[in-house]
Chains A and B, each alone.
Chain A
């Protein structure tokens, strides 16, 4: 073992093994990135192509890029053989932003205090309430949606942003609750105790100590909830009329009588992903940290 020669071979062996491992990692990562990002890349390319270029056989990487799809979406007009058609995609985009933001804000306003209660207090029926809240996620969306549409119709609540935001709680609130509760549970409560001992009430403790400490968890939960709200299709289709429908419904409007306008759909997809991507990049620092429930425990 002490002989330098043996040291040398051991060293070489580990080096080769290391190199192999590194190469393996790189190869595996490349495969992963290819599988998950190639379709995105392809959509991005399509968004700069005319429908005629997209519908070529065989498909090809070479085309003369055009901004016409984006231009049409921003101008709000699409030319087809049967006349000019209005594109309402920008309004759909606005609706998506509004609906998702309001839904997530409401879910946070409701969910963060509740998550704190479940994490910090042992109270009668506490676990039952927590389970009940989560169990709203068990109900198949259609089961709730169909009778709800009936009641909304009768109560005149149809087609309002707030009724949609309320129904969206079904998707976002359980997610927000579950993640943030776990986060609170893993934050050491000693700081809160110290603050309470200084003579502050629980309200001040909650707002000034607990929430700031849980910020990464809240950010990550909010982002995931935002994505799920943004991607919802069926609730908005059934409960809203066109003026209030989100991008998921709007993107389908490029299916027209004289063909499916893939170029527009691709551009619309890019435009609909961009805001969430921006949000994800903005929250990037918190994302992984926020979901790692025990991150601050160290």
Chain B
């Protein structure tokens, strides 16, 4: 159907009509283009030795900053922990979100009420959510610490111990952001055409087969969209991790943005901070590009079919 409109003009339309899409999309682009200026500035900073408290040492060093980073073990830890955090949060939130969306699939009153109620964690700002979780996991006054101590687990140290810190921040991330996954996937599930499922039921096709061969493939575009936006937030996570542990204990949770933040606000090292963020940008760009390519391909395919 889309292709019909897009391929309709066999003869070349008048100039004015050809300008319409540009007129429609350029304002958005123009407003955003201003953001390129700071971006370019940051790229420029990343090629400098630039520590604000040492103005006299400032100077161009080309890729020196990057060379420094790539030979620094701590930096590779940052890369590793950021990717691990992203994989864990996006992966677990996808599985959980999908499962919950399936539970809520039928549009009944109770399901609709629950689906709105489940949006609540998303509405609590991560900085505030972090404060609440810190209190709930406090060993003296925290309700969660109390509950698990009733279950016989004593002295669990949550974000304070290197072995459980990652678990704790991932848990908070899951609490805050799974609702985003749920709502997108639920929307996807409810929009799927009913015929294939009815046919499968009539033929007595097993449920697992229906799920893996019909539901999942049809849902893929929604999964990609949801994962793309979650991935963007996760790899750039700051509020939750900085709020919970400042990237600690030690350097355990020093993900990209926390590392860049420490470089800028603690070390006043603008150059290194910009370089760290540039690496993050490149990684984000590559992963997103991959997601989007796949998404476009899928869309083209489904639309190609539906246009027949």
Contact = CB atoms under 8 A, between A and B. Distances in A.
A247 B114 contact: no
Specify which of A114, A143, A169 lies most central, judged by the most chain B CB atoms within 10 Å of its CB: A143
A23 interface: no
Interface in A118-144: 118-123, 126-127, 129-144
Interface string A251-281: 1100000000010011011001100110011
A141 B127 contact: no
Given A29-B103, A36-B179, A252-B127, A57 B141 contact: yes
Chain A interface bracket (under 10, 10 to 19, 20 to 34, 35 or more):
35 or more
A201 B142 CA distance: 63
Contact of B5 (A136, A140, A189, A294): A189
A102 interface: no
Interface stretch (B63-71, B128-136, B198-206, B244-252): B128-136
B31 A110 contact: yes
B103 A28 contact: yes
Interface string A135-174: 1111111111111101100000000000000110110010
Contacts of A185: 2, 299, 303
A277 B117 CA distance: 9
Interface stretch (A6-14, A38-46, A73-81, A82-90): A38-46
A148 B112 CA distance: 42
Contact of A33 (B20, B117, B146, B184): B117
Contacts of B136: 39, 42
Given A280-B116, A292-B188, A139 B39 contact: yes
Nearest to B116: A284
A151 B191 contact: no
A148 B225 CA distance: 29
B257 A140 contact: yes
B20 A121 contact: yes
B132 A39 contact: yes
Given A36-B118, A284-B112, A290-B187, A230 B125 contact: yes
A190 B221 CA distance: 24
Given A132-B29, A280-B116, A292-B191, A251 B24 contact: no
Interface string A171-210: 0010101110010010011100100000000100000000
B140 interface: yes
A63 interface: no
Contacts of B125: 230-233, 247-248, 251, 272
Interface string A216-241: 00001000100100111110000000
Contacts, number: 282
B21 A166 contact: no
Contacts of B229: 137, 175, 178
Contact of A143 (B24, B39, B127, B186): B39
Interface string B65-81: 00000000000000000
Contact of A281 (B35, B116, B128, B277): B116
Interface of B: 1-2, 4-7, 17-18, 20-22, 24-25, 27-29, 31-32, 34-35, 37-39, 41-42, 45, 99-100, 103-104, 107, 112, 114-129, 131-133, 135-136, 140-143, 146, 175, 178-180, 183-184, 186-188, 190-193, 221-222, 225, 229, 232, 236, 238-239, 256-257, 260-261, 264, 270, 273-274, 277-278, 280-281, 284-285, 288, 292, 296, 299, 303
Nearest to A238: B265
A199 B29 CA distance: 31
B143 A42 contact: yes
Contacts of A116: 24
Contacts of B278: 143
A4 interface: no
A141 to B, nearest CB: 7
Closest CB pairs A-B (n = 8): A292-B191, A291-B187, A117-B24, A147-B38, A121-B21, A143-B277, A231-B125, A147-B41
Given A118-B25, A148-B38, A273-B120, A292 B6 contact: no
A146 B42 CA distance: 8
Nearest to A120: B5
A40 B100 CA distance: 19
Contacts of B22: 117, 123
Give the one of B229, B256, B260 with max A CB within 10 A. B229
A188 B303 CA distance: 12
Given A114-B29, A293-B188, 12 more contacts: A28-B103, A139-B284, A142-B260, A143-B39, A143-B277, A147-B42, A248-B125, A269-B132, A280-B116, A293-B191, A294-B191, A297-B193
